[in-house]
Amino acid sequence: MSLLASFRRLISQSLLGLACAGLTAASASAQSSWPERPIQMIVPFPAGSSPDALARAISEPLAQALGQPVIVDNRPGAGGNIGTRFVAHAKPDGYTMLLTINGPMVTAPTLYKTTLGYDPLKDLQAISMIGTSPNVLVVPADSPANSVQEFIELAKSRPGALNYGTVGPGSSAHLAMAMLEHAAGIKLEQIPYSGFPQILTAIIAGDIDAAFMVPGIAMPQVQAGKVKALAITSLQPSELLPGLETMVEAGLDNFEAISWDAFFVPSNTPDDVVARLNKEVTAILQREDIKAKLNAFYFSSEPSTPQEMTDKIIADKARWDAVIERLKLSLE
Give the span between the Cα atoms of 249 and 231, in whole angstroms.
9
CA dihedral 321, 298, 236, 309 (to 10 degrees): 40
Average pLDDT over residues 82-87: 97
pLDDT in tens, 36-76: 999 999 999 989 888 999 999 999 999 999 999 999 999 99
Q: What is the value of pTM for the model shown? A: 0.80
* Cβ within 8 Å of residue 85, ≥6 positions away: 116, 117, 118
CA pair distance 227, 218, nearest whole angstrom? 8
Does position 13 have pLDDT exceeding 70, yes or no?
Answer: no
Would you state the pLDDT for residue 328?
A: 84
Say how far apart CA 66 and CA 68 lie, in whole Å: 6
pLDDT digits (tens, 9 = 90+) for 157-167: 998 899 999 97
